[in-house]
Amino acid sequence: MKHPDPDRQRGATHTVENQPPPFEDVNLFDLDAALGEGLAREGGGWAATRVRDYGAVMGRADTLALGRDANRHPPELTAFDRFGHRIDEVAFHPAWHALLGLAMEHEVHALPWRDPRAGAHVARTALHSILNQVEAGHACPITMTYACVPTLRAEKSVADEWEPRVTATRYDARSLPAREKTAATIGMGMTEKQGGSDVRANRTLAHPIGDDAYELVGHKWFYSAPMSDALLTLALTRPGAPPTCFLVPRWRPDGNRNPFHIQRLKDKLGNRSNASSEIEYRGTWARRVGPEERGVRTILAMVHHTRLDCVSGSTGLMRMALAQAIHHARHRAAFGRRLFEQPLMRNVLADLALEVEAATALMLRLARGYDGASDDAGERAFARITAAVGKYWVCKRAPHAIGEAMECLGGNGYVEEAILARLYREAPLNAIWEGSGNVICLDVLRAIAREPDALPALLGEIRTARGADPRLDAAVAKLEQDLRDPADAETRARDIVERLAMALQASLLLRHAPPAVADAFCASRLAGAGRMFGTLPASTDFAFILDRALPA
Ligand X SMILES: Cc1cc2nc3c(=O)[nH]c(=O)nc-3n(C[C@H](O)[C@H](O)[C@H](O)COP(=O)(O)OP(=O)(O)OC[C@H]3O[C@@H](n4cnc5c(N)ncnc54)[C@H](O)[C@@H]3O)c2cc1C
Instruction: Provide the binding-site residues for ligand X, judged by CB under 6 A.
Output: 187-191, 195-198, 222-224, 268, 271, 276, 429, 432-433, 436-439, 442
CB of 261 to ligand X, least distance (A): 16
Could you say which DSSP state residue 192 is in? B
Phi, psi for 282 (deg, rounded to 5): -130, 85
Residue closer to ligand X, measured from CB, 189 or 218 = 189
Query: Measured from the CB atom, is 119 or 141 closer to ligand X?
Result: 141
With contact defined as beta carbons under 8 Å apart, do 61 and 22 qualify?
Answer: yes
Q: Minimum Å distance from CB 413 to ligand X?
A: 23
CB of 442 to ligand X, least distance (A): 6
- Closer residue to ligand X (CB): 36 or 399: 399
Spatial distance between the Cα atoms of 410 and 406, rounded to a whole number of angstroms? 7
Alpha-helical runs (H) found in 409-491: 411-414, 419-426, 429-432, 437-450, 454-463, 470-484
Query: What is the bridge-based pairing of β-strands 230-235 and 186-189?
Result: parallel
Helix (H, G, I), strand (E, B) or coil at 182: coil
Closest separation between CB of residue 307 and ligand X, Å? 12
In whole angstroms, how close is the CB of 276 to ligand X at the nearest point? 4
CB of 197 to ligand X, least distance (A): 3
CB closer to ligand X out of 432 and 474 = 432
3-state secondary structure of 116: coil
**Least Cβ distance, residue 226 to ligand X (angstroms):** 9
Q: At closest approach, how far in Å is the CB of 456 from ligand X?
A: 26
CB of 346 to ligand X, least distance (A): 36
Tell which residue, 320, 313, 314, 322, has the closest CA to residue 533.
Answer: 322
> What is the residue-wise DSSP string for 29-49?
TTT-HHHHHHHIIIIIGGGHH
Using left for φ > 0, alpha for ψ between -120 and 50, and beta otherwise, residue 508 falls in alpha
3-state class of 460 per DSSP? helix
Residues 325/366, Cβ–Cβ less than 8 Å: no
* Residue with smaller CB distance to ligand X, 312 or 324: 312
In whole angstroms, give the CA distance from residue 520 to residue 332. Answer: 26
User: How near is the Cβ of 552 to ligand X at its closest, in Å?
Assistant: 37
If the CB atoms of residues 54 and 223 are measured against ligand X, the closer one turns out to be: 223
* Chain residue at closest Cβ approach to ligand X: 196
Nearer to ligand X by C-beta: 231 or 419? 231
Distance in Å, CB of 198 to ligand X, minimum:
6
Measured CA to CA, the distance from residue 380 to residue 4 in angstroms comes to 78
Whether the Cβ atoms of residue 279 and residue 262 lie closer than 8 Å to each other: yes
Q: With respect to ligand X, which residue has the nearer C-beta, 160 or 495?
A: 495
> Which residues, other chains included, contact 378 with Cβ-Cβ below 8 Å and sequence gap of 6+?
372, 453, 457, 460
Nearest residue to 187 (alpha-carbon basis) of 249, 105, 127: 249
> 137 vs 150, which CB is nearer to ligand X?
137
Q: How far is the CB of 486 from ligand X (least distance, A)?
A: 17
Cβ closer to ligand X: 395 or 465?
395
Residues 6+ apart with CB under 8 A from 160: none
Strand partners, 294: none
* β-bridge partners, 195: 192
* Cβ distance to ligand X smaller for residue 339 or 388: 388
Least Cβ distance, residue 140 to ligand X (angstroms)? 7
Q: Is 91 helix (H, G, I), strand (E, B) or coil?
A: strand
Q: In terms of DSSP H, where are the helices of 289-436?
A: 295-331, 343-372, 377-408, 411-414, 419-426, 429-432
Q: List residues bridging with 279 in a β-sheet.
A: 220, 262
Distant-in-sequence, close-in-space partners of 383: CB < 8 Å, separation ≥ 6: 304, 366, 369, 370, 372, 373
User: For ligand X, which is the closer residue by CB, 54 or 221?
Assistant: 221
CA dist., res. 399 & res. 372, Å (int) = 31
C-beta of 28 vs 448, nearer to ligand X: 448
| Pairwise CA distance, residues 381 & 212, whole Å | 33
